[in-house]
Structure 1
């Protein structure tokens, strides 16, 4: 069946959800892009079919989606995709998440590795002689389930108020909703890194001026930064989350002001910290009452759990009942390895 002969029905959203798919993925299953050479996916082909222009100087008005009952079915997916663009633009989670798991349930019980030693200490894997017993590592289920939350906003607007508004303007507001969802999710992700996921795995806290880090309380120097970095062995501190004031303290370290670091920052705005860890501005750290920074091994620290894509109340949107329409994403976070994140406090 050609893409321009498809009958679009709002029940497709229910079918897609039952299969754990987005609406676009569902369309792809019945109209695969492999059969075309147009550079479009199944959803954007449907926009082309109904001549709905969502980009460029000749962008259509919202009313264009509702010219036919078939084209109206595309509106919820347009909103979902546009919100997702905003979420991805403002999202720092890719900088701190090791892996993302997609689920289709209300709860998630994570696993962890138990090798019979103190998780905070390095395990010595010595040679085993002939006939000797290999050290054991057991994968277990965590005692407490991962909390799953709904992140979102209510869209409050009448169809009459929006129908003649240009899609490129409406897009700006939808993307801002995505940015706000991203900020909410980042807050909870960082909270799990700092405080743990309810399974006694909060990050260790080190303080400048104590016996481990040394130095003068409330003052960050390169020596204390190196001492903090050294505490990660055998993990690697490759990412640093820092709120505004602590970020300034790091950026003004003399060791940061080498010509190459300064050139890179001035050229493209990418932050390079001493010892190579990527600096990420994260004011959510301050919101957790931490006057300091969080160092982490990105590859081993945090698992993100999400349901598929952005969810909208499709029936309402298709029927032009925009008032109090929920736009949301469901997700949660699981701490993978407790020693893969540590906190350095000062100030």
Structure 2
């Protein structure tokens, strides 16, 4: 069992399954620190403590602190990946849309689908000796389209070496936010137009041209049945129309929105502001069974360049795609 202060860190750890975090965790399991002062830290965080690298707060270190030794330099790409991931999580509303996340190791993935008929949706009584109704599950005809999203870090080590890590983290967080918004746009495209397997969302129109009424929301709720309307996505103009409805302007909802910024929940659904949604549309969906997210690894950095202090044009990327699970679990309302 290796002590975290005596582990040799090298580039090759990034090429192992689970990346450097997984490799460090195998050498230095977190379970060994239960009941100690280091409980709650993962293996990577213990390495930061080993080299006394503070990445946040008023007393955060400068970037050059990572490069005091070859061991600590090998931690720098993972710090970058984690900071980008942190930014993605802060700006990410995908957990409110995605029913499941599938991690794959290659670039080819074919999802499965079940397309129940109206007869399949009703579980009928089965008499003694009678045949039990069946639900057919089969693979999709087309592969899930994966998109690589990312940003290029264009800076020299000399330009960054004396910058505080806290400030550099803010920049990396913003890169993560850009990636999250791009992935959200991909998810919306699949919800509206389908994933290439002839499964676009069903559409309905508002009763009065361009004007959203409470009756339109009720229609969206009924059209989605038997699925549950638990999430509504609206672009900025449509969000304003929904928030302006008299039925959604009671005093309790108004006070809650003004005090906390939490959106009201029409018909019990989470109302999410989605500027990426264009064309005067509102999407209603059942987040529990509408969308699958497929990702090939997490955030990937050019670790060779970063470790060798060659920050010029070092890429930070994330590859993911989306597939519909149940086509009828999402509807689009044209306004």
Q: Which moved more, 1:266-275 or 1:303-312?
A: 266-275
**Cα distance between partner residues in 1 of 2:20 and 2:157:** 22
Q: Is the 8 A contact 1:250 1:273 kept in 2?
A: no
Identify which of 238, 241, 250 aligns with 1:246. Answer: 238
The two structures, once aligned, show a CA RMSD in angstroms of 1.3
1:31 pairs with 2:28? yes
Q: Which moved more, 1:312-321 or 1:122-131?
A: 122-131
Q: CA offset at residue 285 of structure 1? A: 1.4
1:285 pairs with 2:274? no
Q: Which residue of 1 aligns with 2:127?
A: 129
Q: Is the 8 A contact 1:196 1:202 kept in 2?
A: yes
Q: Which residue of 2 aligns with 1:75?
A: 76
C-alpha deviations, 1:133-185, integer Å up to 9, x for none?
11111110000000112111111111111111111111111111000000110
1:325 pairs with 2:314? yes
**Cα distance between partner residues in 1 of 2:177 and 2:242:** 27
Q: CA offset at residue 323 of structure 1? A: 0.8
C-alpha deviations, 1:86-144, integer Å up to 9, x for none?
011011111111111111011110000144x26xx873322122222111111100000
C-alpha deviations, 1:189-248, integer Å up to 9, x for none?
111011100001100110023xxxxxx222221122112211111001110000111001
SS of match in other structure, 1:298: coil
Q: Is the 8 A contact 1:148 1:331 kept in 2?
A: yes
Q: CA offset at residue 55 of structure 1? A: 1.4
**Cα distance between partner residues in 2 of 1:218 and 1:315:** 53
Q: Is the 8 A contact 1:114 1:140 kept in 2?
A: no
Where in structure 2 are there 5+ consecutive unaligned residues? none
Map residues 195-234 of structure 1 onto 2, 5 A cutoff: 195-209=193-207, 216-234=208-226
**Cα distance between partner residues in 2 of 1:9 and 1:306:** 26
Q: CA offset at residue 266 of structure 1? A: 2.1
Map residues 79-94 of structure 1 onto 2, 5 A cutoff: 79-94=80-95
Q: Give the direction of change, closer, same or farther, for the CA distance of 1:225–1:122 in structure 2 (3 Å limit).
A: farther
Q: Is the 8 A contact 2:86 2:176 kept in 1?
A: yes
**Cα distance between partner residues in 2 of 1:173 and 1:324:** 15
Number of equivalenced pairs? 330
C-alpha deviations, 1:285-322, integer Å up to 9, x for none?
11xx3x12000000011100112221001111111111
Q: CA offset at residue 259 of structure 1? A: 2.4
Q: Is the 8 A contact 1:238 1:277 kept in 2?
A: yes
Provide TM-score, normalisation by structure 1.
0.92
**Cα distance between partner residues in 1 of 2:121 and 2:44:** 51
Q: Is the 8 A contact 2:66 2:73 kept in 1?
A: yes
Q: CA offset at residue 274 of structure 1? A: 2.2
Q: Is the 8 A contact 2:115 2:326 kept in 1?
A: no
Q: Is the 8 A contact 1:251 1:273 kept in 2?
A: no
**Cα distance between partner residues in 1 of 2:245 and 2:328:** 26
Map residues 35-74 of structure 1 onto 2, 5 A cutoff: 35-36=32-33, 37=36, 38=38, 39-74=40-75
Identify which of 287, 298, 303 aligns with 1:309. Answer: 298
1:257 pairs with 2:249? yes
Q: Give the direction of change, closer, same or farther, for the CA distance of 1:183–1:301 in structure 2 (3 Å limit).
A: same
SS of match in other structure, 1:188: helix
Q: Is the 8 A contact 2:113 2:138 kept in 1?
A: yes
Q: Which residue of 2 aligns with 1:163?
A: 161
Q: Is the 8 A contact 1:109 1:141 kept in 2?
A: yes
Q: Is the 8 A contact 2:120 2:135 kept in 1?
A: no
C-alpha deviations, 1:314-339, integer Å up to 9, x for none?
11111111111110111110111100
Q: Is the 8 A contact 2:193 2:201 kept in 1?
A: yes
Q: Is the 8 A contact 1:98 1:302 kept in 2?
A: yes
C-alpha deviations, 1:60-93, integer Å up to 9, x for none?
1111100011110000000000010001101111
